[in-house]
Chains A and B, each alone.
Chain A
């Protein structure tokens, strides 16, 4: 009997293994040499799905636009996006799937920890990677020069937040609530605290939560309230932030709230009363209501196609695809290059290009050799359920 089961299972295994190989051979034979193959990775399922979906859609719009306008150097782009569930191991699997598909450049990954793992792989395979939103400096160091970022790094966000609060004379008695089990959140918190000291801001309370206990923030809020914090700095993702806003409201605690780019998306949380987010400030390089013409076009297309207002992640990935286009044009990389040759060509070109993009602000986007982007952070405030530039 047991033998029978094992025979069955071995058969099942063999079948799955064969399908794995089968799809590989068919995809490589399908490959059209006259196209640029761009892959994308991000979570489209799970708790952080909103970011992956935004990155996927943002890049799709850019690809469609470029293809409609005649492609890059007259060549069309093929684009494919894979899910990683915000898990490092799954991200590497997604990366390998894309490699089988014939990917030459990677737009991704969306979140930080998976990105570090994938950067390790792109470094050893020599594949060019541009991440729209993985913001830790570790991404760059483990990518060994192959990885470029479109978003600010975490230290920059922490420092910029502290400077912004100090310069704009916001309340200086500050409470912090952050996710100590999250790379992104604790990275920003650390730098914010260091910079706050030099800016003369007074951090009166600091409370952490972890990924296991992110449904109730009563204790953390009470701590901030008891310490008399007038401004609550929330370097966290939007789901938790929405709960915090709700609970603070029920407690009758009304400080000012200040978030970073992870807060972007708070207005789209289901069953969340957007009135609670009134006057929340956040630091994001992209505001959907900007007067800029390219931004307005992007927002219009996005709304038509996906029935949703694009957030900063969508804008970053849109810019990432255009940065790739600029770099390909600069380096004259051709479609028949291998991923490795393409990487060497693009790496050199990235530091030479300068583009406006959606998130570039007044000075545009430029990159240095380590892969870090230079752009100026913008603070927005939520008024009547929409972002307003400050």
Chain B
């Protein structure tokens, strides 16, 4: 009994250490490749987006894999994090603040604002049963995107001006500068997202997620996922734990959004980048990577973000191939026949047999 318990803990720790090691190994390999000039500009340009999608996938995995609630609005949390931090960075650009300090503060602000939104949405919705969270988060993502598209925020010598009509109604002084310009979004955010920062945030999100999942709180969250009534009957405060997991999940997505905002010099809330398509894209990363596996989420996010770019040589066929790859991956991961085949041919089983055979001897 004791032995098997020990073994299971070891297994968790092992899986966790493998994940950290994988991220760090990738980081070292990439750094070596950059410094020796072996990496193409395309790959270098892709590094930050890869980090961003990995981070958001980790966040969503916490919600989908451990909390067992479907969220279709994680692009909305990204959007909130992105815009709040970009507004902060833009306002502070002229203040002469230390750039690193400004970026760290922007990160904190983006994360906290996304967390607050996650918390606010969670309060009413997580008390409900069924698929309500999916519906409300889907709506939230769309609402946020549309609200940002009509927001006008400007700043001049007299202070801030805000309007939801148009930029002319701000009545700014001649020295006024637009910060959020409606559909034009925010232009000229400092480009401070780097691969190093991305890796650090991936490691922090992994650290937070693993610690949460492997703690007493995490066990309570998983108990709610597996059997709500049983969890309730042993005295677990369902709403509290659900809210906690969901807020952390939203906060991690917000951190991804901050990186997104500081990666390109333009930030607009379009259906392509913050719409429900993106939310579903992130969900695809999580589902294909394996629900409950953070490592899987990272790998799926990296592979699926890179694929269409690497296949550029195939011109218009690449979108077709991308879709086929998605279907094949899904079949491979979830089709009963494929699972059967995989179990027959899995390396682990082969090794396991050997070990057993040795034991017999």
Indicate, yes or no, whether A interacts with B.
yes
Report the minimal beta-carbon distance from A294 to chain B, rounded to whole angstroms. 31
Which of B37-45, B74-82, B199-207 is near enough to bind chain A? Answer: B37-45
B45 in complex: contacting residue of A96, A186, A210, CB < 8 Å: A96
Cross-chain contact of B293 among A2, A86, A211 (Cβ < 8 A) = A2
Q: Known interface pairs A4-B347, A190-B166. Does A96 touch B42 (Cβ–Cβ under 8 Å)?
A: yes
Chain B neighbourhood of A194, CB < 8 A? 168
Interface pair A16/B310, CB less than 8 Å apart: yes
Cβ-based interface call for A89 (8 A): yes
Please determine whether B183 and A180 come into contact, CB atoms closer than 8 angstroms. Answer: yes
Chain A, Cβ-Cβ closest to B33: A21
Cross-chain contact B264 with A120 (CB below 8 angstroms): yes
Q: Which of B61-69, B126-134, B234-242, B267-275 contacts A (4 or more CB under 8 A)?
A: B267-275
From A83, A99, A186, A190, B41 is in contact (CB under 8 Å) with: A99
A136 within 8 A of B: yes
Given the interface contacts A116-B265, A180-B149, does A87 sit within 8 Å of B273 by beta carbon?
yes
B residues in contact with A193, CB < 8 Å:
166, 168
Q: B264, A117: Cβ atoms under 8 Å?
A: yes
Residue-wise, chain B 248-282 has the 8 Å CB interface mask toward A (1 for contact) of 00000000000000001110111111010000000
Residues of A within 8 A of B115 (CB): none
Known contacts A21-B39, A93-B42: A212-B142 contact under CB 8 Å: yes
User: Nearest Cβ in chain A — how far from B12, in angstroms?
Assistant: 13
Is B188 in contact with chain A by the CB < 8 A criterion? yes
A119 contacts the other chain (Cβ, under 8 Å)?
A: yes
> Which residues of chain B come closer than 8 Å to A23, judged between CB atoms?
40, 313
User: A141–B182 Cα gap in the complex (Å)?
Assistant: 18
Given A16-B303, A96-B45, A100-B41, A113-B168 contact (CB < 8 Å): no
Q: Which of A162-193 contact B (CB under 8 A)?
A: 179-183, 185-187, 190, 193
- Interface flag for A124 (CB, 8 Å): yes
Question: In the complex, A285→B28 CA distance in Å?
Answer: 53
Q: Are B312 and A97 in contact (CB under 8 A)?
A: yes
Q: Does A3 contact B (CB under 8 A)?
A: yes
In the complex with contacts A13-B302, A87-B273, A120-B264, A97-B309 CB distance below 8 A:
yes
Q: Is the CB of B299 within 8 A of A7?
A: no
| B150 sits at the interface (CB 8 A) | yes
Known pairs A5-B290, A16-B310, A211-B271; A186 contacts B146 (CB<8 A): no
**Chain B contact residues, majority secondary structure:** helix
Closest residue on chain B to residue A100 by CB atoms: B40
Chain A residues in 8 Å Cβ range of B16: none
- Which residues of chain A in 33-72 are interfacial with respect to chain B, using CB atoms and an 8 Å cutoff? 44-45
B40 close to A20 (CB less than 8 A): yes
Q: Are A24 and B265 in contact (CB under 8 A)?
A: no
Q: How far is the CA of A16 from the CA of B275 in the complex (A)?
A: 28
A290 CB–B CB distance under 8 Å? no
Question: Is B182 a contact of A113 with CB atoms below 8 Å?
Answer: no
Digitize A98-141: 1 where CB-to-B-CB distance is under 8 Å, 0 elsewhere.
01100000000000010011011100100000000000101001
Asked if residues A1 and B299 are in contact (CB atoms below 8 Å), the reply is no
Asked if residues B182 and A180 are in contact (CB atoms below 8 Å), the reply is yes
- Contact of B135 with A by CB under 8 A: no
CA distance A95 to B342 in the complex (A): 40
A95 to B116, CA, bound (A): 37
Q: Smallest distance from the beta carbon of A225 to chain B beta carbons, Å?
A: 23
A116: chain B residues within 8 A (beta carbon): 187, 265-266
- Chain B, interface size category, equals 35 or more
Interface contact B265-A142, CB-CB below 8 Å: yes
Q: Which residues of B contact A85 (CB under 8 A)?
A: 272
A237 to chain B, nearest CB (A): 14
Contact with B along A1-36 (1 / 0, CB 8 A): 111111101101100110111011000000000000
Question: Is the pair B43, A186 in contact by a Cβ cutoff of 8 Å?
Answer: no
Q: How far is the CA of A24 from the CA of B184 in the complex (A)?
A: 35
Q: Considering the complex, give the chain B residue whose CB is closest to the CB of A194.
A: B168
> Which residue of the partner chain, among A5, A82, A88, A94, contacts B268 with CB atoms under 8 Å?
A88
- In the complex, the answer to whether B40 meets A88 with C-beta atoms within 8 Å is no
The closest CB in chain B to the CB of A46 belongs to B272
A19 pairs with B182, CB closer than 8 A:
no
Inside 8 A of A21's CB, which chain B residues have their CB? 33, 38-40, 43
Contact of A281 with B by CB under 8 A: no
Contact with A along B10-23 (1 / 0, CB 8 A): 00000000000010
Considering the chains assembled together, what is the distance between the CA atoms of A179 and B342 in angstroms? 51
Pick the contact of A183 from B183, B188, B290 — CB < 8 Å?
B183
Docked-complex contact A88 and B46, CB < 8 angstroms = no
Within the complex, the shortest CB–CB distance from A302 to chain B, in Å, comes to: 21
Cβ of A323 < 8 Å from any Cβ of B?
A: no
A-side contacts of B272, CB under 8 Å: 85-87
Cβ-based interface call for B171 (8 A)? no
**Do A9 and B266 touch (CB < 8 A)?**
no
Q: Is B183 in contact with A186, judged by CB distance below 8 angstroms?
A: yes
* A contact residues around B38 at 8 Å (CB): 21
Q: Is the CB of B39 within 8 A of A6?
A: no
- 27 intermolecular pairs with C-beta atoms under 8 Å apart: A1-B342, A1-B343, A7-B347, A13-B299, A13-B303, A16-B303, A16-B307, A20-B42, A21-B33, A21-B38, A21-B39, A44-B316, A83-B312, A93-B45, A95-B45, A96-B42, A96-B44, A97-B42, A97-B309, A113-B266, A113-B268, A116-B187, A116-B266, A181-B269, A186-B184, A210-B146, A211-B271
Where the two chains meet, the residues of A that have a C-beta atom closer than 8 Å to any C-beta of B are 1-7, 9-10, 12-13, 16-17, 19-21, 23-24, 44-45, 82-83, 85-89, 92-97, 99-100, 113, 116-117, 119-121, 124, 136, 138, 141-142, 179-183, 185-187, 190, 193-194, 210-212
Known: A121-B265, A142-B187, A142-B265. 12 other contacts (CB 8 A): A4-B342, A4-B347, A6-B295, A13-B303, A17-B43, A24-B42, A96-B42, A138-B266, A180-B150, A180-B183, A187-B184, A190-B168
